[in-house]
Amino acid sequence: MKLTELKGIGKKTAQKLQLLGIKHVIDLLFHLPLRYQDKTKITAINQLNFGQTALIEGEIVKTYQINSRKPMLVCEIDDGTNTIALKFFNFFYSQQAKMIAGTKVRAFGEVRYGKYMMEILHPEYHHFTKPLPLQDSLTAIYPKSEGINQSTIQKAINQVITLLKTGEINVEEFLPDSILNKLNLPTLKEALIYVHKPPADADTNALLASKHQTQQRLILEEVLAHLLAMKQLKAKAQEVFAPELPISQDKIDTFKTQLPFALTAAQQRVVGEIYHDMQKNHPMQRLIQGDVGSGKTVVAALAISAAYTQNHQSAMMAPTEILAEQHYKTIRTWFDNDDIVYLSAAIKGKERTEVLERIAAGVKIIIGTHALFQKEVVFNALGLVIIDEQHRFGVHQRLALRNKGQFKALQPHMLIMTATPIPRTLAQTAYANLDISVIDELPPGRQEISTLVISNSKMPQIAERIKANCQQGEQAYWVCTLIEESEVLRSKAATDTYEELKDWFPQLRIGLVHGRLKSDKKNQIMTQFKSHELDLLVATTVIEVGVDVPNASLMVIENAERLGLSQLHQLRGRIGRGNKKSHCVLMYQAPLGEVAKTRLDIMRKTNDGFVIAREDLKIRGAGELLGSKQKGAVQFRLADYERDKPLFKKAQSLAAQLITNHPQICQKIIDRWVVDHDEISNV
Ligand code: ADP
Ligand code: MG
């Protein structure tokens, strides 16, 4: 059935609906309400509560205009129990003329506290003489879209619901009876009819909280669809081949002897999991989650060494120039210098040509930035791709690098590393196509970072602290934050602070890095800071990810109230990397808003990335936490990770059950709920 066959839907509206993803009549059924209005009963005026949205009826007592700054129309109505004022800022004379004392009005809107009596601002209203009928179900309010008004959508969906009730159209039930019965869930048809037209006696609290059985039924199917899609992708990876990289234990042992430390148990376990994958002839697709400072770099190096000993190339990509350069320097100390090259946009001219030639000729290790997946880069026997700080890359960039790797129809093994830990159930859903390893232990000797939250006005005390810290031979960061401004402004602000701090601390060696510095200059400053030729580093958030200078034990973050939890945690993760006690000072500009206050409080109370991520999830929701850049992660239409946690767990076991017992319906469920299926693939 075509959309235009519905009453009220012409060609133009049908086109606009298409933009909402509504192409067929049946799609309207899956355009689900955002909220509900209750127009099934009249509330007596003396029974109204402030803040309540209600339907009332009464006789007009009087109508008048108030002319303050903006003229306002007031119409008082009485239902025998009390009086309420309907108020309008924008009104027509014709409207006013109809509001005659003694006539009857029905109005709907939110009840507010007024100076003399309760009031409703801009209510929906109707005049009537004969009794008006009441709605027999709650009124669904749908997500808005440009150029289509609410009542057009409501009317169209009402027609479709009627067709569904009479059986003229049908929705196929995919979940087997056995599952529905066991979970005590309604059928899809029942659920859809109910959520679009909940009966007058429906449990509105449950509906508004999306906790009604019928809503849960739909959410479960959506979560299930995403899980099945991800699992399908994972299964597809089994049809692709990768070079088998047998592990040579002596060579790995020899490699380990040159490390300046012993691996933690968690690092060892994760390396074991990686090696297990790399020996197979299908590509590894593994996500390593490890909090800041947990030692992911050395784990990456061990993966590289496995490819290295089998004469395969490894490419490691980091999101910033500073971080890529740092990885290059660190990892170079563990391999033969002739076997490793560095590539970024800053490598130009003859040097670039040379690096590109060496990559094409098969140099074993390549470390760099986004520059690695440009066209001109041609790999030779690429066996392993490592992506550090994965949240910084979009799915297309990741895909581009992987596809480059294809040689002799083999795909490289893929290791993705992230310091944004997310709770296990969420990770299992959002990244169901990846295997997940967690480095859940910090290297020995680390001390808790203590965090102070201090108002900007206390600058002198902070200055003393920096001086004392640096005079004891330790180093410090001063982080300047300016968000949503241009890189130019950010860099300028940092430069101003740098000049100011030089005046404050004539005795300290101070450096400055920001995004607008040439990369040689950036590298030079970072190297000086790392080798302790500088005491204090003034920086923009360019140092946010990955930077590792264990002797730095103090960090001051300006205007910390402007940053989100994950970002603060990442930044703070730059200190507390050695075995000295570290301190982080979060400066803020008073007064603090509620959310900012909560955030800073959480930062003060805990250093645990998982706890912080969980709190962040509560504040921002999963979609935000996973990041819009992270298109690889699932975006749900109905489901919400925090709210529907128990359903996510249920969906896990259900997905496994369906794949084994009802494989033929899996694809149907995916097609119903998952758009852009291919977008999600191969994260
Ligand atoms: P991240 O997980 O944040 O990427 P890094 O790999 O940068 O962490 O490691 C943080 C610091 O910890 C580095 O200075 C590194 O040398 C050190 N480190 C890593 N593993 C260990 C270990 N097992 N024992 C002691 N220090 C370690
Ligand atoms: Mg790192």
Ligand 1 atom having least distance to the Cα of 297: 6
Q: Which residues surround ligand 2, an ion (CB under 5 A)?
A: 296, 546
Q: Residue 153 domain-assigned?
A: yes
Look up residue 388 and give its amino acid.
Answer: D
Backbone angles phi, psi at 675, to 5 degrees: -95, 160
Shared-domain flag, residues 434 and 471: no
Shared-domain flag, residues 400 and 433: yes
Shared-domain flag, residues 342 and 453: no
Q: Residue 535 domain-assigned?
A: yes
Q: Which residues contact 360 (CB under 8 A, 6 or more apart)?
A: 378, 379, 380
Q: What is the CATH number of the domain that holds 542?
A: 3.40.50.300
CA 635 / ligand 2 centre spacing (Å): 27
Q: Residue 546 domain-assigned?
A: yes
Q: Residue 523 domain-assigned?
A: yes
- Give, for ligand 1, the residue of 259, 263, 288, 297 to mutate: max count of ligand atoms closer than 8 Å to Cβ: 297
Ligand 1 atom having least distance to the Cα of 263: 23
Q: Residue 642 domain-assigned?
A: no
Q: If you average pLDDT over residues 252-272, what whole number do you get? A: 95
Q: Give the residue, by CA position, lying nearest to ligand 1 atom 27.
A: 443
Q: Residue 503 domain-assigned?
A: yes
Shared-domain flag, residues 390 and 533: no
CA 71 / ligand 2 centre spacing (Å): 62
Look up residue 151 and give its amino acid.
Answer: S
Domain end point (choices 211, 240, 270) = 211
Q: What is the CATH number of the domain that holds 86?
A: 2.40.50.140
Shared-domain flag, residues 426 and 476: no
Q: What is the number of domains present in the chain?
A: 4
Q: How many helices (H) and strands (E) does the chain have?
A: 24, 21
Q: pLDDT tens, 619-661?
A: 776 655 554 434 344 567 788 877 888 888 899 889 989 999 9
Asked if pLDDT for residue 404 goes beyond 70, the answer is: no
Q: Which residues contact 52 (CB under 8 A, 6 or more apart)?
A: 43, 110, 111
Q: Is 361 exposed, middle or buried (0-12, 13-18, 19+ CB in 10 A)?
A: exposed
Q: Residue 499 domain-assigned?
A: yes
Q: Is 285 in the pocket of ligand 1 (CB under 6 A)?
A: no
Shared-domain flag, residues 478 and 407: no
Confidence at 519, pLDDT banded by 50, 70, 90: confident
Q: pLDDT tens, 56-107?
A: 999 999 999 998 788 899 999 999 999 999 999 888 989 999 999 999 999 9
Instruction: Please tell me the predicted confidence (pLDDT) of residue 626.
Output: 53
Q: Is 550 in the pocket of ligand 1 (CB under 6 A)?
A: yes
Ligand 1 atom having least distance to the Cα of 291: 2
| DSSP β-ladder status, 83-88 and 71-78 | antiparallel
Asked if pLDDT for residue 447 goes beyond 80, the answer is: yes
Shared-domain flag, residues 169 and 31: yes
Shared-domain flag, residues 49 and 33: no
Q: What percent of the chain has pLDDT over 90?
A: 56
Shared-domain flag, residues 539 and 427: no
Domain end point (choices 128, 162, 192) = 128
Q: Residue 618 domain-assigned?
A: no
Q: pLDDT tens, 306-341?
A: 999 999 999 999 988 888 998 999 999 999 999 999
Q: Give the residue, by CA position, lying nearest to ligand 1 atom 18.
A: 295
Domain end point (choices 606, 640, 660) = 606
Shared-domain flag, residues 157 and 15: yes
Q: Is 292 in the pocket of ligand 1 (CB under 6 A)?
A: yes
Shared-domain flag, residues 504 and 382: no
Of the listed ligands, the closest to the CA of 574 is 1
Ligand 1 atom having least distance to the Cα of 445: 25
Instruction: Please tell me the predicted confidence (pLDDT) of residue 578.
Output: 83
How remote is the C-alpha of 551 from its chain's centroid?
Answer: 33
Shared-domain flag, residues 409 and 330: yes
pTM of the model: 0.75
d(CA 356, CA 294): 33
Ligand 1 atom having least distance to the Cα of 264: 23
Full residue range of the structural domain in which residue 69 is found = 45-128
